[in-house]
Amino acid sequence: MRSTLEPRKLVGTLLAAGFVGLASLSSAAVAADVNLYTTREPKLIQPLLDEFTKDTGIKVNTVFVKDGLIERVKAEGEKSPADVLMTVDIGNLLDLVEAGITQPVQSSTLNEVIPANLRGADNQWYTLSLRDRVAYVAKDLDVNAITYEAFADPKWKGKVCIRSGQHPYNTALIAAMIAHDGPEAAEAWLRNVKNNLARKAAGGDRDVARDILGGICDIGIANAYYVGRMKNSEPGTDARKWGDAIKVVRPTFANEKSKGTHVNISGASVAKHAPNKDNAVKLLEYLVSDKAQNLYANANYEYPVRKGVKLDPVVASFGELVVDPLPLTEIAKHRKLASELVDKVGFNN
């Protein structure tokens, strides 16, 4: 950490922040570390962090902050030990930037690997993996192509399942719909999808597969990486049965200018007052390396942001992912309106 902090005070600060096994830290030891605040479950990314430490000798001290990440970093102020801030959902990532707790990064490695539409124009945030929002379809149903707009078709009345419209995964999709088709069309789409629901919009993405297996619905909208988890579960488990009951179809928008699938992201920023900025940048660069991106693809089943990475066989079976080229920042502009439309049409009622 900064040399202006006394070792005893520094250790107390880190322990209070929830670090594990740091009671013997000295200022010199911390300088070789990088401190990660993440809203992601640590176990999901621990294999990547372990490999980073193995390859670089830089220890990653991880703090899981389920809620209130922005408030915590602001409260810690200039003496915050946070180096890297990691989260999921483009809205959450942009909130970090808008809160003024991040800083720009100059890295040719990151800029070469990550396409412009998947990073901040001012280099204050970077995508690390993709989460495509896809159609779960009953495996015996003759549907091999679909648009997002088609979920509003009356032919699907009583046959669609989805989680809460207010979940960030869905508000991001609705925001993309607004960006592509306009607010009036997006509102009409929401009303018609609501009319097609087989049950209340609730639960999680895996529940969509569960309810397709149970005959409650025929199709639904959910994230693809859950299917990787389900289909790679042990045979005979509930998760495996759910996964085996469905197939994945990647929807596109009907807009002729954008024949791509909507994706959300996991991503990260360097904290504004990062005491170990160089190590923070090294961690981000490592996370987009071939090795780390392979781990993302084959351990978490998320789609790699780096081109040419070998996919898990289940994910590869979904076919090529053509990402909607609309910049995520453009989609994120409509998050608030998307949330308001969900309430306006009573989507979750």
d(CA 289, CA 129): 12
β-strands 84-88, 33-38 pairing: parallel
CB 159 within 8 A of CB 219: yes
Distances (CA, A) of 56 to 25, 108, 154, 267: 19, 19, 56, 21
Residue type, 219: I
Distances (CA, A) of 180 to 126, 175, 327, 332: 23, 9, 11, 12
Q: Which residues contact 77 (CB under 8 A, 6 or more apart)?
A: 273
In a 3-state reduction of DSSP, which class is residue 141?
coil
Q: Which two tokens stand for residue 49?
A: 């962090």
In a 3-state reduction of DSSP, which class is residue 67?
coil
226 is in an annotated binding site: yes
d(CA 340, CA 334): 10
**Bind-site residues:** 225-226
**Bind-site residues for Fe cation:** 225-226
